[in-house]
Structure 1
Amino acid sequence: MSRISICNIPVDALTMQQTIALIDKAIEEHRPVHHVVINAAKVVNAQKDEALKESIVSCDIINADGQAIVWAANFLNRPLPERVAGIDLMDNLVKLAAEKKYGIFFLGAKEDVVKDVVNVYTEKYGKEIIAGYRNGYFTKDDELEIAKQIAESGASILFVAMSSPKKEIFLNTYKHLIKMPFIMGVGGSFDVVSGLVKRAPVWMQKWGLEWFYRVMQEPGRMWKRYLFGNSEFIYLVLKEKWKQVFKTK
């Protein structure tokens, strides 16, 4: 498994199928794997948030969730084979869990949303894959008890749908207590699976315009985040490219 770097944040050069194969092997061997996906916003935030950066770099598998990461990698002459979107990986792993009889614990989102996610997957694959679930609204004082609940569920897979950096730091803090073969943060994926939020059309995904589709759905809340976040990411990549060019001269 080769690993490159984008603005001092590592990312693995893996396809979707290679990622699934590594995860499946780890679950079969009961070998803990902490997974994370990175996008432009996460790379930008990790430059300023040391706890977030540590939670990323300590992961066993790091995938490029955003198309911008793939483009940046190519621009920096460190090509990645493809984008491995977190929500697509989650869907593939739920299917794998049904085939291999792996239990899943779902943590995050509002109570009605996480229940809808459980119902969607139960209807599609059967209740046997559901090891447990809990909403993502809790305080710092609740975290230890929740981690123990997850550990006692007997699940092989944990999906955590909370905002960044909360989910990354939670997983990095408690993964040694949870001791689950596979743990992964999935951001807002529960909202999509439940039907609360629509995902961008495939053509927009391919052109790296999911962020724009998100802004169109919630312009008041999202425009500033993406305007400044994307601009800062472009600046960081150009800065790294300049260093690259300078070194070759």
Structure 2
Amino acid sequence: MSYTKEQIQFMGVSLDTSSMESTISRIESSIFAQNFMQHCVVNVAKLVNMQRDTELANSVNSCDLINIDGMGVVWGARSCGHRVPERVAGVDLFHHLLTMSARCEFPVFLLGATEDVVTQTVEVIKTQNPDLKIAGYHHGYFWDDEKAVVEKIQKSGAKLLFIAITSPKKENFINKWQDSLGVNFVMGVGGTFDVVAGKVKRAPVWMQNYGLEWLYRVIQEPGRMWKRYLITNSKFAYLLLKEKLKFKKID
């Protein structure tokens, strides 16, 4: 099994630019080799937040594999001269890895969201992947006893752990407990369980392709989201300008 590992340095982060297919092959090979891989994806908001949140930045930069989720980051990196053939969206990678896990007989553990949502997510993915082994699952409201949840994951026999908790909590949790989880692969999947369970609708494909998923979220929740995205996108534009100027100086 082969894969192509390609990285770029963008806004202080080593981003992997491999294709979806190559990314899945790399993860599969790592699990078969009994190695540990800490994975995350980055979008515009996460890159912006990393500039002021040192703990988040350390947690992300400690990952073994960092994929580009947001089209804004893809376009920003390309504008600085980097070769980025495609985005590797976290929700799409999640589904591909479930298919791979079913084929390879890798047990998985799901952690995060509310009790109702994670339970519904388990039911949906079992229907989609009848051969998939669910080693266990737990809701995301466990902060008064993190150790007990970590022990539950460790004893489950899971090979892959998917964590659907908001940033930066999931990144910091993974970085804190990575040596105690007992899994070979751990990935933060944000709001993916809400999408799978049908609680939240994903943006239409054409909006995904044009990097307008943020706009779709604003349309769905204008009162809560418009200010967040206005500020975040403005800060990213400023950071991108600085990155382009730095890139020109290097040239």
Distance (whole Å) between structure 1 residues aligned to residue 243 and residue 103 of structure 2: 43
Matching of residue 130 in structure 1 with residue 145 in structure 2: no
Distance (whole Å) between structure 2 residues aligned to residue 69 and residue 144 of structure 1: 35
Paired residue for 1:119? 123
1:206-232 residue CA offsets vs partner (Å, 9 max, x unmatched): 000001001111111111111100110
Alignment equivalent of 1:11, drawn from 15, 21, 30: 15
Q: 8 Å contact 2:103–2:131 — kept in the other structure?
A: no
Question: Displacement, 1:147?
Answer: 1.0
Question: Displacement, 1:29?
Answer: 1.1
- Cα RMSD after superposing both structures: 1.1
Extract unaligned runs of 5+ from structure 1.
none
Matching of residue 178 in structure 1 with residue 181 in structure 2: yes
Question: Displacement, 1:236?
Answer: 0.1
Q: 8 Å contact 1:65–1:84 — kept in the other structure?
A: yes
Alignment equivalent of 1:239, drawn from 214, 239, 242: 242
Distance (whole Å) between structure 1 residues aligned to residue 225 and residue 212 of structure 2: 14
Distance (whole Å) between structure 1 residues aligned to residue 249 and residue 41 of structure 2: 30
Counterpart of 1:152 in 2: which secondary structure? helix
Q: 8 Å contact 1:70–1:79 — kept in the other structure?
A: no
Question: Displacement, 1:5?
Answer: 1.7
Paired residue for 1:44? 48
State the one-letter code of the partner of 1:113.
V
Counterpart of 2:40 in 1: which secondary structure? strand
Matching of residue 62 in structure 1 with residue 66 in structure 2: yes
Identity %: 49
Paired residue for 1:161? 164
Paired residue for 1:191? 194
Alignment equivalent of 2:29, drawn from 25, 31, 54: 25
TM-score normalised by L of structure 2: 0.96
Q: 8 Å contact 2:154–2:180 — kept in the other structure?
A: yes
Q: How does 1:194-213 map to 2 (within 5 A)?
A: 194-213=197-216
Question: Displacement, 1:126?
Answer: 2.4
Question: Displacement, 1:164?
Answer: 0.2
Distance (whole Å) between structure 2 residues aligned to residue 247 and residue 11 of structure 1: 19
4+ aligned runs moved over 6 Å, structure 1: none
Paired residue for 2:146? 143
Question: Displacement, 1:128?
Answer: 4.6
State the one-letter code of the partner of 1:11.
L
Paired residue for 1:105? 109
Distance (whole Å) between structure 1 residues aligned to residue 9 and residue 46 of structure 2: 14
State the one-letter code of the partner of 1:112.
D
Question: Displacement, 1:49?
Answer: 0.6
Paired residue for 2:77? 73
Question: Displacement, 1:123?
Answer: 1.6
Counterpart of 2:145 in 1: which secondary structure? helix
